[in-house]
Amino acid sequence: MGSPRELHGHFDVALVVLSVAIAIVASYASLDQARRASQAHGGTRLLWLAGGGLTMGFGIWSMHFVAMLSFKMAMPVSYQPGLVALSLVAAVAGASIALAVVTRERPSRSGLLTGSAYMGFAVAAMHYLGMDSMQMAASISWNGWLVALSVGVGLAASLLALLLVVRITAQRGPLRPEYHVAAAILLGFGVAGLHYIGMAAATFYSSAASAPGGFTTSSLVTTLGIAGGVAFLALLCVVVVDQRRADLAVDLALVAGLVRQLAHGEAVREELCVTAQRLTGADHVGLYEPDAEGRLRLAASCGSAEPVPEPAGAPERERQVLRDGERLFVPGERRGTRRQRDPEALCGSAHYEPLTLDGRTLALLKLCWQRRVRALPQRTTALLGMLASDAVVLLDRHDLLARLEYLAHRDELTGLANRRVLGEELERAITAAAGSLRPVSVIMIDFDHFKRCNDTLGHQAGDRLLMGAAAAWSAMLRGSDTVARLGGDEFAVVLPECPHERAIEVAEQLRTGVPAGASCSAGVATWDFSETPGHLLHRADQALYAAKAAGRERTGSSIRHLA
């Protein structure tokens, strides 16, 4: 019986390149999932870790058996199913444990070494279990030094790759892709290097034994196809998640930019309608706000000047959204036959977006389309929701600032100027008249027996009296005159370029212009071209009290002539 004959084989270059590519792609997908696991918590972290371990395990296992298929020998080869399955388990388990170790919040140096050891020995175990699963009419002799070198290459590649994983997962801000790609290439070539050095360590000798049955080459190709599909799905999942995150980032940037425009604009309501139209492509957008009686009024709008056909029952839907604070979309429909071209036969589509703050619906955006819209895309609906959440805060702030500005200059009950504005207008009138010696007069007005009115008829009746008088006086005065409520039932009027005699006539007109059943007294003073605005008001006030002391319902007068 002769000595065993050494067998030689050759590698299919195309399959060698494919095996390396598989290792790199699988490494990229699994490392990306590991990065996501490091940023997640609880069940989500476990899911990403499981995905990363499976992707890496299937990837390096697929790479190994594609590389096995690339080695061609002049004999049939089959594979023992049990060892093939065990090699897959080794690859998945080792990759999963390694990723779990290095994706902790702060992996230690010993943890990093442990993780790379798991990964490297798992890849080595998968390789040599796969080699041992080969069933053929040949035996294998191993070169110990090359076997050790192959394991060392696997360990070194795993350590460097996991160091890059730690660098990636610790990074704050946008991901630098070069780290990710470098780690994938390094780990891919490390796995491939381990395999091909391990193949170089094997010498095949002919044997008289026949190859028992097992996994045939076609069965192995089918299995590898399934594993490749799993890896591809994992990579596709990563791409889809990245695309969604990218889309979300674009959406958030868009809404943030639009909200900044709203925040710096004066016409907030008009800008909101324009912004909503830009986001959705609606033909017409209207912003509706409830008045004091709960009826919706159009506060702002933009879009087509042509009437947009609305779905039937639009007013009731508006009230429903305002009441419930829930958005509502009404798809369009075409009445009659499909061939009918009459525009009147089209019932437009509409979307109702509530603007809610602290459980209160403060306004309603109504978006209308001329065309038929079956449903709004989820992305558009999400954008509208983000816009509405930010816009309602801006609207509320804008209204609050406007109200504060109004109250800083106006009396809340009557809408007249307040004491501060009266002082500013009087000082302005006196400054303007100082150089030309033009007269400036002041009237002080006070209702007679106003407390009795409040006590007998109630404060609401007193408020109605003050508001009625304020409206009547505003209509009587010139545009250059200023009437102000100083507080309670006390009012003052500044009359620029008005001589004393004319000011008395105006005071009499104002006294007779009060609502029926009420009376008032007035005091008139004219500037003496030297006194301060405060002293002029004091003289008018003294004239008022002189009129009251004389019996009320009359006008008192105070004038000083220029010396």
DSSP 436: T
Rounded Cα–Cα distance for residues 352 and 210 (Å): 77
pLDDT band at 172; cut points 50, 70, 90: very low
Domain that holds residue 388: 268-401
Answer whether residue 24 is part of any domain: yes
Instruction: Note whether 395 and 424 are same-domain residues.
Output: no
Rounded Cα–Cα distance for residues 280 and 381 (Å): 9
Number of domains into which the chain is organized? 3
CATH number at residue 334: 3.30.450.40
Domain end residue (candidates: 245, 260, 277): 245
Mind listing the pLDDT tens digit for each residue in 290-316?
877 777 788 888 887 665 556 555 677
Phi, psi dihedrals of residue 336, rounded to the nearest 5°: 90, -160
Instruction: Note whether 168 and 310 are same-domain residues.
Output: no
Instruction: Note whether 87 and 215 are same-domain residues.
Output: yes
Answer whether residue 255 is part of any domain: no
67 touches 13 (CB < 8 A): no
Answer whether residue 457 is part of any domain: yes
Rounded Cα–Cα distance for residues 317 and 329 (Å): 10
Token pair of 42, please? 């609880």
**Which of 59, 56, 153 has its CA nearest to residue 102?**
56
Instruction: Note whether 378 and 434 are same-domain residues.
Output: no
Answer whether residue 3 is part of any domain: no
Rounded Cα–Cα distance for residues 186 and 163 (Å): 11
Instruction: Note whether 336 and 362 are same-domain residues.
Output: yes
Answer whether residue 254 is part of any domain: no
Answer whether residue 384 is part of any domain: yes
Q: 206-211, long-range: CB within 8 Å, 24+ apart, which pairs?
A: 206/4, 206/5, 206/6, 206/7, 206/137, 206/138, 207/4, 207/137, 207/138, 207/139, 208/137, 209/137, 210/137, 211/75, 211/76, 211/77, 211/78, 211/135, 211/136, 211/137
Judged against a pLDDT cut of 50, whether residue 344 lies above it is answered with no
Rounded Cα–Cα distance for residues 25 and 28 (Å): 5
Mind listing the pLDDT tens digit for each residue in 440-481?
999 999 998 888 887 787 888 888 888 998 999 888 989 889
Judged against a pLDDT cut of 90, whether residue 523 lies above it is answered with yes
The single residue listed with the structure tokens 């270059």 is 13
Instruction: Note whether 236 and 324 are same-domain residues.
Output: no
Judged against a pLDDT cut of 70, whether residue 277 lies above it is answered with yes
Instruction: Note whether 172 and 49 are same-domain residues.
Output: yes
Instruction: Note whether 130 and 212 are same-domain residues.
Output: yes
Query: pTM higher than 0.85 for the full model?
Result: no
The single residue listed with the structure tokens 């890849």 is 123
Answer whether residue 298 is part of any domain: yes
Phi, psi dihedrals of residue 343, rounded to the nearest 5°: -60, -25
